[in-house]
Protein backbone atom coordinates (compact mmCIF):
# COMPACT_ATOMS: atom_id res chain seq x y z
CA UNK A 1 0.00 0.00 0.00
CA UNK A 2 1.42 3.47 -0.85
CA UNK A 3 2.72 5.66 1.99
CA UNK A 4 0.03 8.28 1.43
CA UNK A 5 -2.66 5.74 2.37
CA UNK A 6 -0.87 5.00 5.62
CA UNK A 7 -0.76 8.74 6.33
CA UNK A 8 -4.50 9.04 5.80
CA UNK A 9 -5.11 5.95 7.93
CA UNK A 10 -2.84 7.38 10.63
CA UNK A 11 -4.79 10.66 10.74
CA UNK A 12 -8.14 8.87 10.87
CA UNK A 13 -6.88 6.62 13.68
CA UNK A 14 -5.45 9.60 15.58
CA UNK A 15 -8.75 11.47 15.43
CA UNK A 16 -10.69 8.37 16.49
CA UNK A 17 -8.35 7.74 19.44
CA UNK A 18 -8.60 11.36 20.55
CA UNK A 19 -12.41 11.33 20.38
CA UNK A 20 -12.54 8.09 22.35
CA UNK A 21 -10.09 9.53 24.88
CA UNK A 22 -12.20 12.57 25.73
CA UNK A 23 -15.64 10.96 25.75
CA UNK A 24 -16.96 9.28 28.89
CA UNK A 25 -16.03 5.62 28.88
CA UNK A 26 -17.86 2.53 30.00
CA UNK A 27 -16.44 0.69 32.98
CA UNK A 28 -14.31 -2.15 31.57
CA UNK A 29 -12.95 -3.34 34.89
CA UNK A 30 -13.92 -6.94 34.10
CA UNK A 31 -10.54 -7.35 32.42
CA UNK A 32 -7.63 -6.41 34.69
CA UNK A 33 -5.63 -3.48 33.31
CA UNK A 34 -7.96 -3.19 30.30
CA UNK A 35 -7.33 0.55 30.06
CA UNK A 36 -3.57 0.02 29.88
CA UNK A 37 -3.99 -2.72 27.28
CA UNK A 38 -6.06 -0.31 25.19
CA UNK A 39 -3.37 2.36 25.49
CA UNK A 40 -0.64 -0.08 24.47
CA UNK A 41 -2.71 -1.34 21.52
CA UNK A 42 -3.63 2.16 20.34
CA UNK A 43 -0.05 3.43 20.37
CA UNK A 44 1.27 0.23 18.83
CA UNK A 45 -1.20 0.78 15.97
CA UNK A 46 -0.32 4.45 15.63
CA UNK A 47 3.38 3.52 15.54
CA UNK A 48 2.74 0.96 12.83
CA UNK A 49 0.79 3.37 10.64
CA UNK A 50 3.20 6.25 11.12
CA UNK A 51 6.21 4.03 10.51
CA UNK A 52 4.72 2.74 7.25
CA UNK A 53 4.15 6.35 6.19
CA UNK A 54 7.82 7.28 6.80
CA UNK A 55 10.48 4.72 7.57
CA UNK A 56 13.98 6.20 7.88
CA UNK A 57 15.66 5.96 11.29
CA UNK A 58 15.52 9.76 11.64
CA UNK A 59 11.77 9.65 10.99
CA UNK A 60 11.30 6.73 13.39
CA UNK A 61 12.87 8.69 16.24
CA UNK A 62 10.85 11.81 15.39
CA UNK A 63 7.67 9.73 15.19
CA UNK A 64 8.30 8.16 18.58
CA UNK A 65 8.66 11.61 20.14
CA UNK A 66 5.57 12.93 18.37
CA UNK A 67 3.47 9.97 19.45
CA UNK A 68 4.60 10.31 23.05
CA UNK A 69 3.74 14.01 22.92
CA UNK A 70 0.30 13.04 21.59
CA UNK A 71 -0.11 10.69 24.57
CA UNK A 72 0.76 13.52 26.97
CA UNK A 73 -1.69 15.79 25.12
CA UNK A 74 -4.45 13.20 25.50
CA UNK A 75 -3.83 12.98 29.24
CA UNK A 76 -3.88 16.78 29.51
CA UNK A 77 -7.18 16.88 27.59
CA UNK A 78 -8.59 14.18 29.85
CA UNK A 79 -7.65 16.21 32.92
CA UNK A 80 -9.90 18.99 31.60
CA UNK A 81 -12.75 16.64 30.64
CA UNK A 82 -15.53 15.78 33.10
CA UNK A 83 -15.71 12.09 34.03
CA UNK A 84 -12.13 11.47 32.82
CA UNK A 85 -8.85 11.50 34.71
CA UNK A 86 -5.26 11.87 33.67
CA UNK A 87 -2.66 9.29 34.67
CA UNK A 88 1.10 9.06 34.28
CA UNK A 89 0.59 5.30 33.98
CA UNK A 90 -1.39 5.86 30.78
CA UNK A 91 1.57 7.77 29.33
CA UNK A 92 3.85 4.91 30.35
CA UNK A 93 1.46 2.45 28.65
CA UNK A 94 1.57 4.65 25.52
CA UNK A 95 5.37 4.53 25.58
CA UNK A 96 5.31 0.74 26.03
CA UNK A 97 3.07 0.39 22.95
CA UNK A 98 5.44 2.57 20.93
CA UNK A 99 8.52 0.66 22.12
CA UNK A 100 6.98 -2.78 21.52
CA UNK A 101 6.29 -1.85 17.92
CA UNK A 102 9.77 -0.38 17.41
CA UNK A 103 11.48 -3.43 18.91
CA UNK A 104 9.42 -5.89 16.88
CA UNK A 105 9.94 -3.85 13.71
CA UNK A 106 13.70 -3.69 14.32
CA UNK A 107 13.84 -7.46 14.81
CA UNK A 108 11.81 -7.95 11.62
CA UNK A 109 14.14 -5.68 9.62
CA UNK A 110 17.22 -7.39 11.05
CA UNK A 111 16.04 -10.85 10.02
CA UNK A 112 14.77 -9.60 6.66
CA UNK A 113 18.16 -8.14 5.77
CA UNK A 114 20.06 -11.11 7.23
CA UNK A 115 18.03 -13.43 4.99
CA UNK A 116 18.70 -11.29 1.92
CA UNK A 117 22.46 -10.99 2.60
Give the confidence band of 9 by pLDDT, cuts at 50, 70, 90.
very high
Q: pLDDT tens across 78-97, in order?
A: 999 888 889 999 999 999 99
Q: Residue 68: pLDDT above 90?
A: yes
Q: Residue 115: pLDDT above 90?
A: no
pLDDT of residue 27: 62
Q: Residue 10: pLDDT above 80?
A: yes
Q: Ramachandran region of residue 25, left (φ > 0), alpha (ψ -120 to 50) or beta? A: beta
List all residues 6 or more positions away from 49 whose beta carbon is below 8 Å from its beta carbon: 6, 9, 10, 13
Give the confidence band of 29 by pLDDT, cuts at 50, 70, 90.
low
Where do runs of H (alpha helix) occur along 54-117?
Answer: 57-79, 88-116
Helix 34-53 crosses helix 57-79 at what angle (to 10 degrees)?
140
Q: Where are the domains of the chain?
A: 3-22+34-116
Residue 107 and residue 57: Cα distance in Å, rounded? 14
pLDDT of residue 18: 95
SS3 at position 103: helix
pLDDT of residue 53: 87
Amino acid sequence: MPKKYYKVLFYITTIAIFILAITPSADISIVPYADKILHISAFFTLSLELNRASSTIKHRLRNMGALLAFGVFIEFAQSLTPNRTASIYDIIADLIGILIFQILYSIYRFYKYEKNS
